[in-house]
Structure 1
Amino acid sequence: MQLTGITNQKIISKQTDEIKTQQKEKSFTEILNVAKTPVERNIDDMIGFGSIDGGRQLATAFYAEESTEENPIVILTKGPKGEELARIAINDIDTTFATKTEMFALCSYLDDKGKTDKSAFGSFETLRAVEEMSTHNGFMKTTSDGVRADSVEEKFNWQELTRKVAELVLSSKNMIQYLKVKNLNNAMSQY
């Protein structure tokens, strides 16, 4: 009897290990797709849109129903009629150690509240320019061939990156870009 119990336990353990391995291999988006269901939202309520994953998918930002002025909460979705990707409490964001997903929510919120120099595509596009310039100028880690993986869940010190890029564009006498980056840096310094 004990021998049979041990054998069955090993089989169950092996099956459990295989399931865990399969789950680890699933991407962050695949896991979210299983967990979330589409919710139709009014496009007039959208506070931001953009690509947080290198252009592969459009994300939109809306306020959550439980959001308040004191505790704003932003929901990110796959397009205005797509499933929820993330629910982010703005006051919990630390811009010295934040993901691109968190920064998209924060930029959408800051734009909606008029706290940034909202360009045609919002301050998140300015942040994406900061990211590209940071990669190009060696402020962000890259592979040996100068490429940086576009991970939406990797955390960066966005305060430091925007400060460095602001200095860089100021030294090149690009005042329009400098003012956009400096304004964004000032707006997000509260978080």
Structure 2
Amino acid sequence: MSLLISSSLYDPYIQNNNDGALKKETVKCCNRATSIGDVDEHSQSSLNTGEKLGVTSFGDKMYVATYADCSTEEEPVVKVGQYEVRINDVNPNNATKLELFALMSYLDKNGALNNRGISSYSKIKAFSYQAEANGYCSGLDDIEKIFSQKRDWISILNNAKETFLGNSETYHQALEIDKMIFSLSCKW
């Protein structure tokens, strides 16, 4: 069975995301002028490039997160479809859903979140639907927004946490959200 991973359908939406960590792969991975936050094109990867970090779907397409060829331990770069996400540039207070997926896949793989069970990204998706049901945010699965709309995922999680704290049956989920928020807030 082969799986076709394509993002060309969503290129118009991604082109609107010029200021984020999301970059469309050009001729060669990380083949850009070196500046703060960029990876030198001569950097050698010390990570297992091509290793699967996570899998998700946006719309009717499946996406696999892997280390990009130019990824290093100091400057991790996660490739999702045809796009590179520079992990050090992702801010969960201002990230697209694709950037969040890359970040959470990276953090899970490196044990930074001490996650058990389903992926941290899947948990965030499930928790964020509560915030959407609360009316706090909307269009979480809108394909036009996944690649281009920046969201404050910490605030979205906090909104869901407040709802879960008010119910004894969901109190444990609120504590899990709190741990996740703390872990994400330590860097940003």
Per-residue deviation, 1:27: 4.6
Percent of aligned pairs with the same amino acid: 27
1:93-124 CA-partner distances (Å, limit 9, x unpaired): 12111100000001101101112243433001
The one-letter amino acid paired with 2:93 is T
Please give the alpha-carbon distance, in whole angstroms, between the structure 2 residues aligned to 1:176 and 1:117: 16
Greater gyration radius: 1
1:73 equivalent to 2:68? Answer no
Tell whether 2:169 aligns with 1:184.
no
Q: How does 1:162-181 map to 2 (within 5 A)?
A: 162-173=157-168, 174-181=170-177
The reply to whether residue 158 of structure 1 matches residue 140 of structure 2 is: no
Q: CA deviation at 1:45?
A: 1.4
Structure 1 ranges of 4+ moved more than 4 A: 29-32
Q: Structure 1 residues 148 and 120 mapped into 2: Cα distance closer, same or farther (>3 Å)? A: closer
Q: CA shift at 1:43, angstroms?
A: 10
- What amino acid sits opposite 1:46 in the alignment? K
Are 2:50 and 2:68, in contact at CA under 8 Å, matched by a contact in 1?
Answer: no
Amino acid at match of 1:92: D
Do the aligned partners of residues 118 and 90 (structure 1) sit closer, same or farther apart at CA in structure 2, a change above 3 Å counting?
Answer: same
The equivalent residue for 1:46 is 52
| TM-score (normalizing by structure 2) | 0.67
Checking the alignment, whether the CA contact within 8 Å between 1:117 and 1:183 is kept in structure 2 is no
**Residue type of the partner of 2:166?**
S
Residue 127 of structure 1 deviates from its aligned partner by 1.1
Per-residue deviation, residues 17-58 of structure 1 (Å, max 9, x unmatched): xxxxxxxxx9524898xx889xxxx9981011112x25x222
Match of 2:128 among 121, 126, 131: 131
Deviation at 1:187? Answer: 2.0
Instruction: Please show how residues 9-88 of structure 1 align to structure 2 within 5 Å.
Output: 27-29=9-11, 45-51=51-57, 53-54=58-59, 56-77=60-81, 84=82, 86-88=83-85
Match of 2:104 in 1: 107
Structure 1 residues 27 and 163: CA distance shift in structure 2, 3 A: same
Please report how far the alpha carbon of residue 180 of structure 1 lies from its aligned counterpart in structure 2 after TM superposition. Answer: 2.6
Q: Which runs of 5+ in 2 are unaligned?
A: 1-7, 15-24, 28-47
Match of 1:17 in 2: none
The amino acid that maps onto 1:59 is Y
**Cα offset, 1:60, TM superposition:** 0.9
